[in-house]
Structure 1
Amino acid sequence: MKSIYKIYILTFLLLSDFVLFAQPGDDDGGGGLEGDDTPAAPIDGKLIWLALVSILFAFYILNKRAQKTE
């Protein structure tokens, strides 16, 4: 019985994500996704820093794992 509750809770958490981040619709019926004139957000602003930090983090984890096996 407890496993059914876990499944219900997991399903609720996974499906509530769509509702929590949904944007309200327009009352005038127009606009939507095609009518929005906001400028696009840049996605590569700090991409080099992200790559550098991820390489350093991977190096740290691999060194930590190598020291643990010795």
Structure 2
Amino acid sequence: MKNIFKFYILSVILLSDFTMFAQPGDDDGGGGLEGGDPAPAPINSKLILLLIVGLSFAFYKLKLNSKKV
């Protein structure tokens, strides 16, 4: 019973996320899917730095775990 209650609470929290952040729609019936979107931000300039930081963090965590065992 306790596990079912935990599952129910978790599913309510995860599924209520969709309704909490939903944007109100237009009542004109036109859809409004085209227009007004800003240009996407480029990520190419910092991709190498992100790769280096990610690899160094992974190496650090592996080294830390190998010392514990």
Partner of 1:29: 29
TM-score by length of 1: 0.72
Distance 1:62 1:4 in 2: 36
Structure 1: give runs of 5+ residues left out of the alignment.
Answer: none
- Number of residue pairs matched? 68
Percentage of identical aligned residues: 56
State the Cα RMSD in Å: 2.0
Alignment of structure 1 residues 28-47 onto 2, 5 Å = 28-33=28-33, 35-44=34-43, 46-47=46-47
TM-score by length of 2: 0.72
* Off by >6 Å, runs of 4+ in structure 1: none
